[in-house]
Structure 1
Amino acid sequence: MEPRPADVIRVGIDLGTQSVRVLLADDGGRVLALGSAPLTSHRRSDAGRRHEQDPHQWWEAVGQASRQAFGALAPSQRTLPLGAVAVCSTSGTVLLGDERGAPLTPALMYDDARAVDELARLHDRLGETAVQLSWALPKIDWLFRHHTTTGLTGRYVAHSADVIAAALVGHRVDTDSSHALKSGYDVVARRWDERLLEAADVDPATLPAVVAPGATLGAVTPSAAEHTGIAAGTPVVAGMTDGCAAQIAAGALTPGSWNSVLGTTLVLKGVSSTLIDDPAGAVYSHRHPDGGWLPGGASNVGAGAVAGEFADDDLDALAAEAGRRFEPAGAVVYPLTARGERFPFVRPDATRFELGTTSSRAERYAAVVQGVAYVERLCFERLAELGADVGGEVSITGGATRSAYWNQLRADVLGRPLVLPSTPEPAFGMAVLASAGHRAGAAATVTQRAAAMVGRSAVVEPRADAHERLSAGYDRLVAELTRRGYLDPANALSSRNAS
């Protein structure tokens, strides 16, 4: 039977690091079209790792990707009305813009590390180190110090999603609480944190007002419509960060459910009815669009360790041999992709290490991917120690899910089924968000819309006895992390007891 024709099109825009993706979906979750356009980064390693992008290129890429998506619609779909547009972007990317929302400076990307002095000064003034270099707040301080010559008048803080929303609606926009989190926004009190702003020398008058994800920001202007193909008058609603967008796309929106994103690094995001308090700062929480909390954390362990070491290898062949011969591998690897760790513990001085030796490329591959899976298990156990509900469904997204072997290994190490969503695209998550509250008739929550739109492509069940067999390697990793002082012995003991 042919699927029911779409009656309303929802538009999701994902402003990523390497590309912009624009996705068009109907209210049943069917993807109607997808467009993309590349982005260029400018990186330098002098005076700290620098990573900039030209925000003017973002708008050009959004136009290209959007026109491509609308051009790919079936003829019968091109006259359908548009419901709303939502934009997601990387967390911690920030720039300065003018009173219209147009960019005045390059964008400092989430992994730009030049604001070392600003972060140290902020830490000295606060007497604690919860704010990290990946946050936008020290970057904002750096931007004003280096790009303001005549005071702060006419220069305002903007997150990358704000720039695109402003270009769509023709004026400076409010930001959403998700993007504002790492810029010094207190999600509990629902206001900018005066203590953080004062420590960072940031004038509150330069910051945007903050609204909830899904709040209406304006409507697409005729000039923006010509540039993007999105009809003039289409509502533009506040989005969320790309990690939250991926969580929505995975449908992980009910208490106890989690989305584990394994890309270059590992990111876990879940749902909690109560705020999870982590004094160490490894776990932070966004507000759930429907109420409650979205706790999560981001590790520096991830698939980047495989990409860096096995770029010239046949990964399918390595995986096949690893599955036959090396479970577990003879060595245990803590596969950091960069110096320092953010989750499940915060240690800027943490370094990659290896225990034991391997006899072949296949065994070494096995040791690396097992190491990532072990850290993923440790992350879940750390969340449980902090009081988070981790008993619900776990979905997995990210580039690493292309490996069936790795998906199976992760299910085995965790000892639980893993769900593969049908459309694990942050842009799809924004289409789901755009559909909530902007429907004919009664408004719906984001959770309700996700239940109606998000499907699953597969469920990976853990193999019998595999969890127990692989636990020996996990215990070795936990013991070494404890010996090095990265893990508290009490936490390490509870992790071993949980196994």
Structure 2
Amino acid sequence: MEEAGTAWLGVDLGTQSVRVLLVTGDGTVLGRAAAPLRGRRAGVRHEQDPGDWWDAVCTASRAALRGLSRQRIGGLAVCGTSGTVLLADSAGRPVGQALMYDDGRAAEDADRARARGLVVQNAWGLPKALWLAREHGAGEGRAVRLMHQPDVIVARLTGTLPPTDASHALKTAYDVEHDTWPLAVFAELGLDAELLPDVVRPGTRIGEVCASAAERTGIPAGTPVVAGMTDGCAAQIASGALHEGSWNSVLGTTLVLKGAASRPVRDATGVVYNHRAPDGGWLPGGASSVGAGALAVYFPDAEPAALDRAAAAHEPASVIAYPLASPGERFPFLAPGATAFVLGSPASDADLWAALLQGVGFAERLCLDTLHFLGAPMDGTLTFTGGAARSPYWNQLRADILGRPARIPEETEPALGMAALAAHGTGAASTLAGAADGMVRVRTVVTPRPARTEPFAASYARLVGELERRGWLAAPVAAHARSRLDLGGTGS
């Protein structure tokens, strides 16, 4: 059991900021802070300076812990963006810039990996690792180590070159089911095995905060550091969706769904992948390019609250939208050439806004129908998190479209998930689910209105048919989605 007065620190390395949260085992937030990050984008290129990550962690940590010098911190964990990789020297110092999770320069390397039987997407870590190794001459100069984003911070916190965690290694083609790198295939691809880090399961204790890091961050020296997980998994932990059949739907710029299962959800196309939970269970999920980011494309100067009120008169909208935030789709189907579309001419801005909100809800429903088609357990709770969960109207609309209730937690920061993982990894909670259950507080539960669910069925069926017609959605999945309309929702 945790000691009285103990709190846990979560660090989230996001795209635009680093966020730090100090929280007790019962979910009381004692301190929080954020520090901004900047990146460089040009076409498919997206880089960040790893040194900026450390500076931001130091700034945010000191701010979050200000006035709490006597607070006992039981441990910490760090999450980062999934698929962000870089190369480092033998001391763990980055060599060059980090390729961010959506950097698209390694598409040809992804094709090479897939040709050798690896299930990877273009922006995953492995293609970028191949690209970096070639560009920086790994094995011939200073670059001797592949690192994932949190590894950089853990190295600075502990003063040692750490192992990476299996969660971040997953998109670098680490086999989490058999706990091994696919070395034979890597050799065929020309990736030097000497570059590869050791891998440990998330929640493993991998060091403690050293004196120099304590001086920079304000985190007490000797604080245990445990291996973290990706930001998507961290958000799932922060939602409490860790019991079998439970799912977390994170709606921000894009849409991410992650659930809990006792066995992997098999999918040959790679749109669904499975993280290994610290306790040995599985966290299947997928990431879509549909999301709230599309709203800014159509309405760059929108006042969302006003448009939400106007959209209520358009249920369903007169047009059908598939609102991709960026070209290409990854889940619920894999279609690199997919583009956003609107079927028909909207009657007004409110009608188009309604169609976009509903289109995200339809995509969310199709994701859940696809998971059901693949045999994923679906009979647990559903939780809404992400920036879009701040819209009461959109929460209710999504619940109506899905035909199932959804929980809205008080605190949705991925950093909370890392605090829970730290509590579990240091032995304060026997299970990760138990740690999350203690920390996660549910603010409200949104209940679907059956009279509103049925009117959306025809629009959903039309969208499914259009996706199938374009060759993006496989016919068996489309047929399964249509068959489930008779069930009145997306439950079991």
After TM superposition, is the score higher than 0.5?
yes
Q: Distance in 2 between matches of 1:173 and 1:87?
A: 13
Q: Which runs of 5+ in 1 are unaligned?
A: none
Q: Which of 3, 8, 11 is the aligned partner of 2:9?
A: 11
User: Is structure 2 residue 216 aligned with structure 1 residue 227?
Assistant: yes
- 1:98-124 per-residue CA deviation (whole Å, 9 max, x = no partner) reads 222221221000000111232233334
**8 A contact 2:139–2:192 mirrored in 1:** no
Q: Which runs of 5+ in 2 are unaligned?
A: 486-492
| Superposition deviation, residue 97 in structure 1 | 1.0
- Give the match for residue 283 of structure 2: 294
| Superposition deviation, residue 438 in structure 1 | 2.0
460 and 63 in structure 1: CA distance in 2 versus 1, 3 angstrom threshold: same
Q: Distance in 2 between matches of 1:40 and 1:313?
A: 25
Identical-pair percentage: 52
The CA RMSD measured in Å over matched residues stands at 1.5
**8 A contact 2:144–2:194 mirrored in 1:** no
- For 1:109, the aligned partner's letter is M
| Superposition deviation, residue 452 in structure 1 | 1.3
Q: Which of 307, 310, 325 is the aligned partner of 1:321?
A: 310
139 and 154 in structure 1: CA distance in 2 versus 1, 3 angstrom threshold: closer
| Superposition deviation, residue 226 in structure 1 | 0.3
- 1:270-305 per-residue CA deviation (whole Å, 9 max, x = no partner) reads 011111110111100000111211000011111100
- 1:244-282 per-residue CA deviation (whole Å, 9 max, x = no partner) reads 000000000000000000011110000111111101111
**Within-5 A mapping of 1:270-309:** 270-309=259-298
Of 104-113 and 142-151, the range deviating more from structure 2: 142-151
- 1:198-246 per-residue CA deviation (whole Å, 9 max, x = no partner) reads 3432112211111011111111111000000000011111000000000
Q: Which of 59, 63, 74 is the aligned partner of 2:58?
A: 63
Secondary structure of 1:186's match? coil
Q: How many residues align?
A: 483
- For 2:48, the aligned partner's letter is Q
User: Is structure 2 residue 350 aligned with structure 1 residue 355?
Assistant: no
Q: Distance in 1 between matches of 2:460 and 2:447?
A: 20
Q: Distance in 2 between matches of 1:389 and 1:50?
A: 37
- For 2:363, the aligned partner's letter is V
User: Is structure 2 residue 441 aligned with structure 1 residue 446?
Assistant: no
- For 2:467, the aligned partner's letter is L
| Superposition deviation, residue 329 in structure 1 | 0.3
**8 A contact 2:106–2:123 mirrored in 1:** no
User: Is structure 2 residue 367 aligned with structure 1 residue 376?
Assistant: no
Q: Distance in 2 between matches of 1:99 and 1:452?
A: 40
- Give the match for residue 456 of structure 1: 442
Secondary structure of 2:450's match? coil
**8 A contact 1:184–1:197 mirrored in 2:** no
**8 A contact 1:6–1:26 mirrored in 2:** no
Of 195-204 and 170-179, the range deviating more from structure 2: 195-204
- Give the match for residue 242 of structure 2: 253
**8 A contact 1:137–1:200 mirrored in 2:** no
Q: Which of 197, 203, 206 is the aligned partner of 2:192?
A: 203
Q: Distance in 1 between matches of 2:32 and 2:240?
A: 20
- Give the match for residue 80 of structure 2: 89
- 1:16-45 per-residue CA deviation (whole Å, 9 max, x = no partner) reads 110001110111111101011000101112
Q: Which of 146, 171, 174 is the aligned partner of 1:185?
A: 174
9 and 93 in structure 1: CA distance in 2 versus 1, 3 angstrom threshold: same
- For 1:467, the aligned partner's letter is T
- Give the match for residue 332 of structure 1: 320
Q: Distance in 2 between matches of 1:17 and 1:367?
A: 28
Q: Distance in 1 between matches of 2:158 and 2:118?
A: 38
- Give the match for residue 159 of structure 1: 148
Instruction: Give me the TM-score of the superposition, normalised by structure 1.
Output: 0.94
**8 A contact 2:48–2:99 mirrored in 1:** yes
- Give the match for residue 32 of structure 1: 30
